[in-house]
Amino acid sequence: MAYFKVEKLVKYFGGLAAVNGVSFEVQKGEIFGIIGPNGCGKTTTFNMISGVFPPTSGKVIYQGKEIQGMKSHKICHLGVGRTFQVVKPLGRMSVLDNVTAAAFSRVNTIREAREVAEKTIDFCGLAPVADVLAKALPIAGRKRLEITRAMATRPDLLLLDETAAGLNPTELLEAIELIRKIRGNGTTVIIIEHIMHLIMTLSDRIHAINFGQSVAEGTPKEVAANPQVIEAYLGKDYA
Amino acid sequence: MGILLQTIVAGLLKGGLYALIGIGMTLIMGVMGIINLAHGQMMMVAMYIAYVLNTMGVDPYFSLLVAMPTLFLLGVLIQKYLLNPLIKVDTILPENQVLMTVGIGMVLTEVIRFIFKSDYKYVTTSYSSATFFLGGISFNVPLTIAFFIALAFTAAMFWFLIKTDLGRSIRATAQDKDAATLMGINTGRITVVTMGLGAALVAAAGCLLAPVYYIFPDLGGPFTAKAFVITILGGLGSTVGAILGGITLGMAESLGATYLGMEYEDIVGLAIFVAVLLFLPGGFKRLTKV
Amino acid sequence: MKKTPVAAIVAVAALALLPLVLADNYFLHLLILFLIWVIIGSSWNIMAGYTGQVSFGHAAFFGTGAYTAGLFVMHGGFSAWWGMAFGGVAAMLLGLPFGAICFPLRGAYFALASLALNLILMHLATIAERFTGGMQGIMIMPTFVSKVPYYYITLGMAVATLVVVQSIIRSKWGYYFVSIREDQDAAESLGIDTNRYKNVSLAVSAFFTGTAGALYMNYMGFIDPHVVFSLHDYSVMAILVAIVGGVGTIYGPAVGAFIMVGLQELFRSGFFGLFKYLGDRTGSETFTQAMEVVQHAHVLVFGILVVVVILFLPNGIVGDWGKIRKSVFRSKPAA
Amino acid sequence: MRAYPKGLLTVAVLLLAVVLCGGVMAAENVKVGIVLPLTGAQAKFGEIEKRSFEMAAEEINAAGGIKGSKLELLFEDDTGKPDVGRAATEKLISRDKVTVLTGGYSSAVTQAATAVAQQFKVPFLVTTGSADEITEKGYDYIFRINPTSSEYFDPFETLIQKAGGIKTMALLYENTQFGQSSAKDVEGAAKSAGIQVVVKEGYQAGAIDFKPILSKVKGAKPDIIYMVSYVMDAALLMAQCKELDINPKMFAGGGAGFTLPEFQQKAAAAADLVYSATLWSEDVPYKGAKEYFNKFKKKYNSETEYHGAEAYGSMYVVADALKRAKSFSPNDIRDALAATDMMTAFGPVKFISYGKKTQQNKLPNTFVVQWQKGKMETVWPEAFAKKKYIFPTPAWKDRK
């Protein structure tokens, strides 16, 4: 039994298919990359997995359980955490309060939540800005806050949606290090990314999507060599 | 049968007027995404303009020519100096602009009360209760005129939005403000113009209502309520929706008054409003697609 | 989030001792009104200021509470004090299905739906003459002649409301409420059942508002649909109290209540008789005329206050206190 | 939560200081507290009553005042809201220490205010508030000069009998306290007079269009249409009756709106031949009525009507009771008020108990007026009629 898989996911908005038959399987403990050109349906796929909206058809199976169509908060409680491509900080709350709010998904008292939050903040390296209001953080901080908050819900499976976009080279290295650390912790990671360097270095396997459909899957090397992928996506960068 | 027909005619005529009140609101709501809770109060101001002109012997239909530009200016000033500055302000409540319109409505009402006292005023015309009969059904002349002027204004608005550059910019802003900004549209100016237009349209409604109704400072509130019911019924930003919404509300009120009892008149309107929120979110716009 | 400030405890102690010093009925009445507004303002605030769900129809809950108390008297001749036990519950029972239906509507739609609920209840209470007494209202003889018992009951309720609101805000619920206000999608992704917690917030808010309504019935001794379901006097006033004081702050509504009740009475009474006094002293007509102007101006002043506060103090007096201090007390060293 | 703003406390203390300084008063005068709507929707009538009270007080003071001291009127604005009215009454009693209270315009405010007066045992002469309940609670400090709303229909009963041929009635009323309670009374009275009520409908004041309800009325073909409406609704109702060509034998208004000049001005031709109940008009055969009307017009250069006469009369009743009272203690004034038996410009005043009511003035006559050629004429009871009533009302198309 696969740890996590999606089967023939389809999503129509009005008459348009944003996702039209995406299927993949993720093994426990791996870092699984999803690539594809802009508007190919990556984020829509994430939104269906995390319950922002239900798929038009298809299945999402997590640890043997069909979770498609469930509400976001329920899926979070099952152990699937996510970050948003367009960051959504809880602006008028401090970093610590942001993470504390997330920690309540696992514990009930404010003391425990604080503890979890502080630990997670340390783990993710946000301790120096713990008391800063989230809206006052620079973009790198906000991206990192997204991850920290998701980690505070103690996910078993973490969905990262372009967490490296807009980062400078140093920040990028830090991000790679953090994601490795998260995986090292036993968390499975699915990652959407545009920055090829990052996804090629990090991913154990990569799944390529184009026009809402799966086109290729394999190790970074295999995918990079796949002619369809090169044509559809990498062509522009690598040709 | 006579009662039913008379009720339908009454509802239809009143609905025309409601539509005109609603068009201004729907424009504002569509473009700015806010409910203008001072909408009825703006109409009230226009009615006082009609009243003052009437005491000088000006017919309410001619006072349109004064009231509409005046209210246009009032709308422009409000948008420019009171509402647009709020966009930049960081606050907890996203509804700050709506709350601001509540304050504006209070100020308009009280300033008018200050000048004119709470007394009822009315516009006297020779034709206020003129009627003609078609097969035993009575048609009030001013309301019939108002109905056709409302239709004319809607048609004009429709043409303006579809055919002119400014109209297209307004529609673009209503659809996606950020995209419109990127396309080089000065959205700040568009919101100002839209508020002015909305105010001018409701001013027209006020002048048309003046001969058949009466005027007092607290008149605004109930009409604001009607305007937002119409807007929700019709769908935000849809002029055709506003006409349909206005007529639906007028008809529902009349039918409710006849067949349930007049005291249910307002409840019927509100019940329809809630029903649309629940079962047809997006209003008639969803059905008509314009 | 800090501990209860000493100033708040001092303020409550001072209010508790006040009747011993100042047994004047008129001031006690104003203080009771102030405290009722503390309750309503704080209730509105927990839902709108903390959870971000703006209600334009809080009079619906206030009126429901008041009518619960009134109907106990009207049908069966119970004491209106039963309303204190059930008024809040009744308001909650009204709020929950309403919330369940309307919370999925985002943004201004919810605000509009609450406005509609308010108006519908007002009309229904007017029409259902047999059940509610219609516009003839419900009248009872107040239990106590003295204001002092009412004062302490209201003070107790207001303090209780503030304490409950404060402890909710500092608990898991509080974190959830504010998360929902700040970003609903993010909140969902963090495992927060946003609809459920919006309803929790609504229930708390409706409960305290309803209890305030029941208290009003007992204290005022008279209600009718246009009084307790008044859009202007309760729904809008609740918003004003909170935004003037500061939405999303614990003490904002209390400060707002003080200012709004104070201003209203200040203007209604012509600056507490100052104009009349001056007029009598000088025998000048000007003061009498000025008083009339002032008396007619109170709603105008409210309106201007709203406009000014939203433009310049968008977070209210408490929320923007730092800003006020900077501009008003600039020369003084920071306190 | 930011630091608790200390400056706020300073502001609060300052405000309180201002409050405490206000209201310092000269002594020696007899203080009369008057609660009226001076702002808000009812302010128009509050104003007329206030002016009438002031006019009467000036006259009384000019004629020597009360046992050597002068009347001092303290007006409080109730803004038309019961809670404010209650607070205002409390202020008059406990801060201003008034000797006696009068005024009270809307029924709702009056109910709240009288409850306070009764609790504090301060005599209160109600001027206008007309709901029956106000004098049905057995409050021994509350008196009322105004007849209750249930008596507004009385003169119509005799007029209808005399005129004959009226068997069915349409009853339209505004959904206010006055409207709802009047409608109940009129329905009862009509039934006992053998008149069948074929349509009975309430409406929200402020409607634009009465045609739905009126087409129903038209279909029911009543002999009389009785409307309890305030002035502008009244004008629209009549105008739309004309538009729909509704022709009963009689259009009748139950007080309030139908007697005001604005009604006639707004409804214009549609107002003609409409009847209305009234408690008072300047033509009533009471000493001082016409004088009051003319004096008011001269002094303030504006119209007055029955509310003003009530206020004017109330002031004289209060003055009379104060003069007769053994002392200015509440009890003595109460007793003096209870023993009142005098004639005022509003009519004879004597507080009696009947039915459930206590200490209620009962006018010997209420009147029916009819708009004839743009003028309001007293037409009933016959003994006081200035003009003969015109009955049945001719159809709209037969009028010139």
Q: Tell me if D3 is assigned to some domain.
A: no
Q: How far is C185 from chain A (nearest CA, A)?
A: 8
Interface test with A, best of C51, C189, C197 (most A CBs within 10 A): C189
- Among C31, C219, C222, C328, which would you mutate to test the D interface (most chain D Cβ atoms within 10 Å of its Cβ)? C222
Domain coordinates of chain B in residue numbers? 2-287
SS3 B134: strand
Structural domain contains residue A199 = yes
Smallest CA–CA separation between D384 and chain C, in Å? 34
Alpha-carbon span C228 to C217, nearest angstrom = 9
Residue C331 pLDDT exceeds 60:
no
The encoded tokens of residue D219 equal 């279909």
Using the beta-carbon criterion (under 8 Å), do B102 and C113 form an inter-chain contact? no
| Local confidence band at D1 (pLDDT 50, 70, 90 cut-offs) | very low
Task: Provide the pLDDT for residue D95.
Answer: 85
Which two three-digit tokens encode residue A9? 């996911």
pLDDT tens-digit profile of A95-138?
999 999 999 999 999 999 999 999 999 999 999 999 999 999 99
Inform me whether the pLDDT recorded for A53 exceeds 50. Answer: yes
pTM: 0.89
Q: What is the CATH number of the domain that holds D356?
A: 3.40.50.2300
Beta-sheet strands, E only, within B51-124: none
**D168 backbone dihedrals φ, ψ, rounded to 5°:** -125, 150
Q: Which pLDDT belongs to residue A237?
A: 52
pLDDT, averaged across chain D: 87
Cα–Cα distance measured from residue B282 to residue A36, given in angstroms and rounded to the nearest whole number: 34
Q: What is the mean pLDDT of residues C165-190?
A: 94
C192 — pLDDT class (breaks 50, 70, 90): very high
Question: Do A144 and A178 form a contact (C-beta atoms < 8 A)?
Answer: yes
3-state secondary structure of C117: helix
| pLDDT digits 0-9 by tens, C109-126 | 788 889 899 999 999 999
pLDDT digits (tens, 9 = 90+) for D161-184: 888 888 999 999 998 888 888 898
Q: Indicate the average pLDDT of chain C.
A: 88
Model pLDDT, residue C44: 96
Question: What total of structural domains would you count in chain A?
Answer: 1
Alpha-carbon distance of A100 to A97, in angstroms, equals 5
In terms of pLDDT, which residue wins out, B33 or B225? B225
Structure tokens at C47: 């839902």
CA distance B199 to B214: 20
**Listed ranges B98-102, C213-217, D163-167, D277-281; the one with the highest mean pLDDT:** C213-217
- Chain A residues 112-131 with a CB less than 8 Å from chain C: 113
Question: Which pLDDT score is estimated for C207?
Answer: 97
pLDDT of residue C327: 79
Lowest-confidence range among B75-79, C186-190, C271-275, D75-79?
C271-275
Asked, for residue D105, whether it belongs to a domain, the answer is yes
Name subunits touching A (3+ CB pairs < 8 A).
Answer: C
Q: Is residue D67 part of a domain?
A: yes
CATH of the domain at A99: 3.40.50.300
Does domain B2-287 correspond to CATH entry 3.30.200?
Answer: no
CB contact under 8 A, A149 and C190: yes
* The predicted structure's pLDDT at residue D13: 54
Residue A115, domain member (yes or no): yes
Q: Is residue A10 part of a domain?
A: no
Query: What is the band of C288 on the pLDDT scale with cuts at 50, 70, 90?
Result: confident
Residue D213 domain-assigned?
A: yes
- pLDDT confidence of residue C20: 84
Which residues neighbour B104 within 8 Å (Cβ) at sequence distance 6 or greater? B38, B41, B78, B82, C303, C307
Let me know if residue D77 belongs to a domain: yes
Give the structural domain span for A106. 29-53+71-238
Q: Shortest CA distance to A36 belongs to which of A170, A187, A226?
A: A226
Q: Is the pLDDT of residue D376 over 50?
A: yes
Q: Which residues of chain C neighbour B253 with C-beta distances below 8 Å?
A: none
CB-based contact D202 C127, cutoff 8 Å: yes
| pLDDT confidence tier of residue D2, bands split at 50, 70 and 90 | very low
Q: Which of B112-116, C126-130, C318-322, D348-352 reaches the highest mean pLDDT? A: D348-352
Q: Tell me, what amino acid is at D222?
A: P
ipTM: 0.87
Closest partner CB to D243 (pick from B11, B117, B138): B138
- Chain A nearest-CA distance from C50, in A, is 11
Secondary structure of residue B89 in the 3-state scheme: coil
- One domain for residues D46 and D128: yes
User: Domain containing D198: what range?
Assistant: 151-278+366-398
Q: What is the pLDDT of residues C15-68, one digit of tens each?
A: 888 888 877 778 888 899 999 999 999 999 999 999 999 999 999 999 999 999
The predicted structure's pLDDT at residue B186: 87
pLDDT at B147 over 70: yes
- Chain segment D96-135, per-residue pLDDT in tens: 899 999 999 988 899 889 988 998 999 999 999 888 888 8
Count of positions (residues) in chain B = 290
The span from the CA of B103 to the CA of B94, in Å, is 16
Q: What is the pLDDT of residue C106?
A: 67
Nearest Cα of chain B lies from the Cα of D64 at a distance, in angstroms, of: 36
The pLDDT-based confidence of A58 (bands split at 50, 70, 90) is very high
pLDDT digits (tens, 9 = 90+) for C225-264: 988 999 888 999 999 999 999 999 999 999 999 999 999 8
Does C8 reside within a domain?
no
In chain D, residues with a C-beta closer than 8 Å to the C-beta of C319 are 2
Domain-embedded: residue C284: no
D chain contacts of residue B258, beta-carbon cutoff 8 Å: 212-213, 215-216
Contact indicator for C216, C223 with CB cutoff of 8 Å = yes
Q: Mark yes or no for CB contact B213/D236 under 8 Å.
A: yes
CB-based contact (8 Å) between D256 and chain B?
no
Q: Which of C134, C227, C265 sits opposite D82 (nearest CB)?
A: C227
pLDDT at A236: 53
Closest partner residue to B96 (CB to CB) among C107, C304, C314 is C314
Number of domains making up chain D: 2
- Region A155-164: mean pLDDT is 92
CB contact under 8 A, C116 and B103: no
> Which amino acid makes up residue C115?
L
**In terms of C-beta density within 10 A (0-12 exposed, 13-18 middle, 19 or more buried), how is residue B24 classed?**
buried
The structural domain count of chain C equals 1
What does the alpha-carbon distance between residue A98 and residue A117 come to, in Å, rounded to a whole number?
9
Let me know: does D149 contact D169? Beta carbons within 8 Å: no
Asked if A81's CB is within 8 angstroms of C189's CB, the reply is yes
Distance of alpha carbon A53 from alpha carbon A47, whole angstroms:
6
Q: Is C273 on the interface with D (CB under 8 A)?
A: yes
pLDDT in tens, C132-145: 988 888 888 778 88
Work out the average pLDDT over D36-40. Answer: 86
Q: What is the pLDDT of residue B130?
A: 82
Cβ separation of D265 and B14 shorter than 8 Å?
A: no
pLDDT, residue A45, reads: 93
Residues spanned by the domain of C92:
22-250
Any CB–CB contact under 8 A between B3 and chain D? yes
The stretch B81-105 carries a mean pLDDT of 86
Distance from CA of B258 to the nearest CA of D (A): 5
The whole-angstrom separation of Cα D175 and Cα C136 is 10
Q: Which of C168, C182, C190, C199 has the most A C-beta neighbours within 10 Å, making it the best mutation to test the interface with A?
A: C190
